[in-house]
Amino acid sequence: MERKRKSLYYKIVSAILHLVVPRAKTVFEVPPGDEPVVFVSNHASINGPLMMTFYFSRKCRIWAIAESLDKVHTRSYAFHDVLVGDGKKSFRFWKFVAGIVKVMLPPILIYNTIAVYRDRRILETFRNSTDALKQGYDIIVFGESTERYSEYVNEIQPGFVGLGRMYYKQTGKRLRFYPVYLNKENRLISVGSPIEFDPDMDGEEFRKKTCTFIRDGIDRLGRSMKPHKIIPFLPQDWYDTYGERFEHDVAGYWHMIDTDPRFY
Residue 43 included in any domain? yes
Residue 203 included in any domain? yes
Q: Are residues 64 and 74 in the same domain?
A: no
Nearest CA among 219, 200, 197 for reference residue 210: 197
Give the per-residue pLDDT at 13.
Answer: 87
Q: Are residues 264 and 248 in the same domain?
A: yes
Average pLDDT rounded to a whole number, residues 134-145: 98
Cβ-based burial of 244 (10 A; exposed 0-12, middle 13-18, buried ≥19): exposed
Residue 8 included in any domain? no
C-alpha 37/C-alpha 132 separation (Å) is: 11
Q: Are residues 245 and 133 in the same domain?
A: no
* Residues with Cβ within 8 Å of residue 122, at least 6 apart in sequence: 116, 159
Q: Are residues 60 and 95 in the same domain?
A: no
Domain count, the chain: 2
Residue 30 included in any domain? yes
Residue 1 included in any domain? no
Question: 145 pLDDT exceeds 90?
Answer: yes
Q: Are residues 125 and 197 in the same domain?
A: yes
Q: Are residues 45 and 25 in the same domain?
A: yes
Nearest CA among 173, 150, 153 for reference residue 233: 153
Q: Are residues 91 and 181 in the same domain?
A: no
Q: DSSP letters along 21-80, please?
A: SPP-EEEESS---SS--EEEE--TTTHHHHHHHHH-SS-EEEEEEGGGTSTTTHHHHIII
Give the per-residue pLDDT at 157.
Answer: 97
Question: 249 pLDDT exceeds 80?
Answer: yes
To the nearest whole number, what is the mean pLDDT of the chain? 94
- Which H or E run contains 180? strand 176-183
- Which H or E run contains 216? helix 203-224
Model confidence pLDDT, tens digit, residues 21-52: 888 999 999 999 999 999 999 999 989 999 99
Residue 159 included in any domain? yes
C-alpha 237/C-alpha 13 separation (Å) is: 28
When pLDDT is cut at 50, 70 and 90, the band that residue 14 belongs to is confident
Model confidence pLDDT, tens digit, residues 151-176: 999 999 999 999 999 999 999 999 99
Domain, as residue range, for 222: 20-68+117-233
Residue 25 included in any domain? yes
Q: Are residues 146 and 161 in the same domain?
A: yes
Give the per-residue pLDDT at 19.
Answer: 84
What pTM was estimated for this model as a whole? Answer: 0.94
Cβ-based burial of 79 (10 A; exposed 0-12, middle 13-18, buried ≥19): buried
Pairing of strands 113-116, 154-156: unpaired
Q: Are residues 27 and 48 in the same domain?
A: yes
* Residues with Cβ within 8 Å of residue 35, at least 6 apart in sequence: 173, 176
3 state SS of 145: strand
Q: What is the DSSP letter of 262?
A: T
